């Protein structure tokens, strides 16, 4: 029996029994419109967040954003970051709940939303079925804290009625039978672009650009896609077991589902403190513990990977400098090795403090997309990506985020992310290419990064 709910100055809170696996709680809303699960990888991170049925939604397609809510549907060509800010401002929240998120915006910024910020070449046209931005405004959230082994349902007063609140408590406390779900499987071989020969041609073109002084690093990716059948939530449950990650997510939008096991944090904002944790540098895991440890040490001391990581650290320091107080930006941790199910990664942490007048959305706009998935310098790298990759990236290499009514934000980089829409699945795998990269090693890195996604759908 759940303890009684408590009314806060800002809303309501209902403590729940701590779940060993938050995915079991998400089953209660997995098929709901705009259902979203921010997944810390079964405790690799601290918090999981669950929400569904937003009261308003914003979807951006090219230069137009559709806003759907209680008053119907409207359309705007205003900057989508500003539109999201204005929508959130209608529901200002005061006071602390003790939890990281108690309602607000949840959704993603797709990679090609950058076209609303900068002038970029357009070789491919539209990116497919997914919008450039998709956010819902959620009046409630279920949050699980794995550090303190607690869980709570939270809601905003004025945005949720008493009967809906009671219904939510019932939904997450009463036992429900599991719904049978067929596994997510491809029905044909994956189409991969570019293949081995095409990858080699692109690699050589990138090396030419680097040696001619156009850029220092290009994050080049390959696309995998195929027809598929089965349930995307079942696919995500399998994927998160194969490759748990601290910034994973499942998101069901009207256009399709995102299944992400991202290991990379993009931007976090709490009060005025910003942190970002770029990944650059990868080695495969090995079944032999001695060889596995040697691969991690090889990565830690690799001059090539450290230089690649440092390029992106410098890029992000520059991006943060556009909205942080002078002198506040610090590199907190340089060249840390983090290990995941299939790969070791080289990670650095950078922090800063926002200037007065800046907020989560201006921070995101100044830094978007993340430098670790573009290269350096950013704009020239993105132009070369547009020239050489086979299609627009869509959600891939964008950022899935929460932005609370209180102004706090956390976000990932949408790598290791599978899309499911209209009976087709797709995903990408890439890596940073620099002057001393070797073609075969970079190609094998894309194969290793795609491994868990391929296993999930085969």
Q: How many CB atoms lie within 10 A of CB 353?
A: 16
Number of H helices, E strands in the chain: 10, 26
The span from the CA of 430 to the CA of 224, in Å, is 11
Q: Which residues contact 165 (CB under 8 A, 6 or more apart)?
A: 5, 12, 140, 155
Residues 369, 376 contacting (CB under 8 angstroms): no
Among residues 194, 254, 409, the alpha carbon closest in space to that of 323 is found at 409
Tell me the backbone φ, ψ of residue 214, rounded to 5 degrees.
-70, -35
Name the token pair of 17. 């029994």
CB atoms within 10 A of CB 374: 25
To 10 degrees, the CA torsion angle through 417, 421, 423, 424? Answer: -40
Indicate the SS3 state at residue 148.
coil
3-state secondary structure of 389: coil
DSSP state, residue 372? G
- List, by residue number, the catalytic residues: 264, 280
């Amino acid at each position: 029996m759940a303890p009684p709910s408590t009314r806060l100055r800002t809303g309501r809170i209902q403590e729940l029994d701590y779940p060993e696996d938050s995915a079991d709680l998400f089953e209660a809303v997995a098929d709901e419109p705009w259902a979203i699960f921010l997944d810390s990888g079964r405790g690799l991170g601290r918090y999981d967040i669950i929400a569904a049925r937003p009261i308003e939604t914003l979807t951006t397609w090219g230069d137009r954003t559709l806003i759907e809510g209680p008053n119907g549907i409207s359309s705007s060509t205003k900057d989508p970051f500003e539109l999201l800010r204005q929508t959130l401002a209608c529901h200002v929240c005061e006071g602390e709940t003790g939890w990281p998120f108690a309602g607000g915006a949840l959704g993603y910024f797709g990679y090609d939303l950058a076209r609303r910020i900068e002038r970029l070449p357009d070789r491919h046209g539209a990116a497919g079925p997914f919008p450039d931005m998709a956010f819902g405004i959620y009046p409630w959230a279920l949050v699980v804290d794995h550090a303190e082994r607690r869980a709570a349902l939270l809601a905003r007063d004025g945005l949720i009625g008493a009967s809906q609140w009671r219904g939510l408590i019932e939904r997450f406390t009463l036992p429900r039978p599991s719904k049978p779900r067929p596994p997510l499987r491809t029905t044909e071989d994956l189409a991969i672009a570019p293949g081995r020969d095409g990858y080699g041609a692109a690699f050589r073109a990138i090396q030419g650009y680097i040696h001619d002084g156009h850029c220092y690093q290009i994050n080049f990716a390959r696309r995998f896609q195929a027809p598929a059948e089965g349930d995307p939530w079942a696919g995500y449950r399998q994927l998160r077991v194969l490759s748990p990650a601290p910034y994973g997510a499942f998101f069901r939008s009207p256009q399709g589902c995102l299944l992400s096991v991202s290991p990379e944090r993009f931007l976090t904002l709490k009060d005025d403190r910003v942190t970002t944790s770029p990944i650059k540098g990868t080695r495969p895991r090995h079944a032999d513990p001695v060889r596995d440890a040697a691969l991690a040490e090889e990565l830690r001391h690799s001059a090539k990977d450290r230089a690649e990581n440092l390029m992106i650290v410098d890029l992000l320091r520059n991006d943060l400098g556009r909205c942080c107080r002078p002198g506040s930006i610090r590199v907190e941790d340089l060249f840390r090795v983090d290990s995941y199910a299939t790969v070791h990664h080289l990670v650095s942490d950078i922090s800063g403090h926002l200037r007065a007048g800046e907020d989560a959305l201006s921070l995101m706009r100044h830094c978007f997309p993340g430098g670790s998935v573009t290269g350096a310098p950013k704009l020239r790298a993105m132009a070369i990506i547009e020239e050489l990759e086979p299609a627009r990236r869509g959600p891939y290499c964008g950022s899935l985020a929460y932005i609370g009514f209180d102004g706090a934000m956390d976000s990932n980089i949408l790598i290791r992310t599978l899309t499911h829409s209209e009976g087709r699945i797709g995903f990408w795998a890439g890596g940073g290419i620099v002057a001393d990269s070797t073609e075969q090693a970079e190609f094998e890195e894309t194969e290793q990064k795609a491994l868990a996604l391929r296993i999930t759908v085969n």
